[in-house]
Amino acid sequence: MVDQTISPSTLSGPPVSRWWGCFPDLRRDTLGFLLQCQAYGDVVKLPMGLVVELLLRQRDAAMYVLNHPADVKHVLVTNQDNYTKAPVAPAESRIFGQGVLHTEGDIHHRQRRLFLPFFHGNHVTAYAGLITDKARELMGRWHDGTRVNIEQEMAHLTLSIIWRLLFGQDVRSESDTIRDAIAAGQRLIKLQYDSLLASIIPLWVPIPRHRRFTRSFRVIEERIFRLIRERRMASEPHDDVLSLLLSATDAEGRPLSDEEIRDELMTFLLAGHETTANALTWTWLLLSQFQSARERLTRELIEVLGDRLPTAADVPRLRYLKMIWNESLRLYPPAWTLHTRLAHTQDRLPSGAVLPPHAWVFVSPWTLHRNPRWFPDPHRFDPERFSEEAQRTRPPFSYIPFGAGGRRCLGESFAELEGLLILATIASAVCLRQVDGQTIQPDPVMTLRPNIPVQMVVQRMRFPTSDPAMT
């Protein structure tokens, strides 16, 4: 890249408030502000303001937004040991506890080693039947002309699948409670990131939003603890994440406690369905808006599947579907930002920028994926960007919907199989048309969600299908 060294004091960024730093701009229009930052170079410095400097007792406290894939690779992979996750909002910490999403060092390595075999290769493809069955079950409740809130439908679908993966049984009445708790959690976490005051009031202070949050998560927790207790007493073997955790031991060879198991299960429950549901929602919306892509997909589905349900073996042949999925994750990455990383020691990046110790490093798939240097006309939906040829022209790490390095998404293979099979199953039988008059914008909460409920109308496909799920 470049030979010169750019010291932290010469790095630039947009003008921000002296007292409050970049936070008012981020709060007002997070996604727009991040895109504006692209104009300031490969590494953009965003001062955090005097108030945060006083609180942290750190002079020149700043966030550094990385816009160059080579720098992203350096921080997430090459020199990843120099970075840890920055402290998270209190509500987020309460939800995920010491689960694999938030731990560091040896504990984190140990947790990943435990989960990796479960979420890889044949073990994942074995769930293909479950995924297509659940998708068909959902369509069984739809009729020609049914109007659906597609985000809600996708969330219930992915929740029913992850619940089976975790607990080996069907989710029952918990489904609505879990979705309500997540909504309360998302609102509180956003508030805590947006407002310094909200983030420093401890969760035990009984204000209404804390009470709502604690009450709703306690219901899920109690259910999880009950399932752990029941399974401890069961004698027959199970192939699910709960059994994996019950047979695991810590570094001293002791079995995991109920609390440790709860943290992992809660992590997978949330990380493992909300993101995939978002990705599916955006994909349905794009397919409804871009008729030619939808038609080409229909042709591919007929050619590869005829009138049967997809299996894991079909997935590599559904090439255009995969291109649509990738392009949807580019435009609307559910994890629109990775967790902010904290630098331990000074580090010189490949772009020449030097990050000081304690730098808060911001890597955002949203910003990277909409950088015109790697993705010309970046706001346009164009699945052709993911043809094999087009992909070869881009630098690695310009597209990172699942993160990278030692903290790369553990559920990536599963999410991809699940997303593609759900799309193929449903798109073979129905068209989903967006209801006219809705202007939908991405809303960056814990995941990148549509800002309003996405209403769609179910239309039966005109070509013959033998799918008995559709009436």
187 binds ligand HEM (CB under 6 A): no
Longest Cα separation, the chain: 68
Q: Between residues 260 and 467, which has the closer beta carbon with respect to ligand HEM?
A: 260
335 part of the interface to ligand HEM, by CB under 6 A:
yes
Q: Strand 360-362 vs strand 62-66: parallel, antiparallel, or unpaired?
A: parallel
Q: Which stretch binds ligand HEM (CB under 6 A): 32-40, 143-151, 219-227, 266-274?
A: 266-274
Selected binder of ligand HEM within 415, 430, 431, 445 (CB under 6 A):
415
Q: Which residue, 6 or 167, has its beta carbon nearer to ligand HEM?
A: 167
DSSP state of 21: B
Using the contact rule CB under 6 A, the part of the chain among 38-46, 175-183, 275-283, 294-302 near ligand HEM is: 275-283
Structure tokens at 80: 């990843």
Structure tokens at 189: 């976490």
338 is an interface residue for ligand HEM by CB under 6 A = yes
The reply to whether 184 sits near ligand HEM by the rule CB under 6 A is no
What is the size of the binding site for ligand HEM (CB under 6 A)?
A: 23
**Is 444 near ligand HEM (CB under 6 A)?**
no
Q: Under the criterion CB under 6 A, does residue 442 sit at the interface with ligand HEM?
A: no
Nearer to ligand HEM, 142 or 414 (CB): 414
Least distance (Å) from ligand HEM to the CB of residue 110?
11
By CB under 6 A, residue 374 contacts ligand HEM: no
Q: In this complex, which beta carbon is closest to ligand HEM, that of residue 268 or of residue 360? A: 268
CB neighbours of 96 closer than 8 A, spacing ≥ 6?
Answer: 88, 102, 263, 266, 267, 270
What span, in angstroms and rounded, lies between the C-alpha atoms of 236 and 313? 31
Does 268 interact with ligand HEM (rule: CB under 6 A)?
A: yes
Nearest residue (CB) to ligand HEM, 243 versus 298: 243
Residue 358 CB burial class (10 angstroms; 0-12, 13-18, ≥19): middle
Q: Which of 73, 190, 322, 339 binds ligand HEM (CB under 6 A)?
A: 339
Instruction: From 182-190, 391-399, 409-417, 433-441, give the range in contact with ligand HEM by CB under 6 A.
Output: 409-417
Query: CB–CB of 471/441 below 8 Å?
Result: no
Q: How many CB atoms lie within 10 A of CB 206?
A: 8
**101 is a site residue for ligand HEM (CB under 6 A):** yes
| Residue 335 Rama label (left phi>0; alpha psi -120 to 50; beta) | beta
Q: Which is nearer to ligand HEM, 22 or 265 (CB)?
A: 265
How far apart are the C-alpha atoms of 125 and 5, rounded to whole Å? 47
Tell me, residue by residue from 110 to 129, as one string, x for binding to ligand HEM by CB under 6 A and - for no binding.
--x-----------------
CB 76 within 8 A of CB 405: yes
Q: Assess 414 for contact with ligand HEM (CB under 6 A).
A: yes
Report the residue number, 383 or 411, with the smaller CB distance to ligand HEM. Answer: 411
Alpha-carbon distances of 112 from 87, 101, 239, 406, 410, rounded to whole Å: 20, 10, 18, 9, 8
| 3-class secondary-structure state, position 252 | coil
Tokens at residue 152, please? 């809600």
Structure tokens at 102: 């938030």
Dist. CA 458–CA 432, nearest whole Å: 5
- Name the site residues for ligand HEM (rule: CB under 6 A): 100-101, 112, 267-268, 271-272, 275-276, 279, 334-335, 338-339, 401-403, 407, 409-411, 414-415
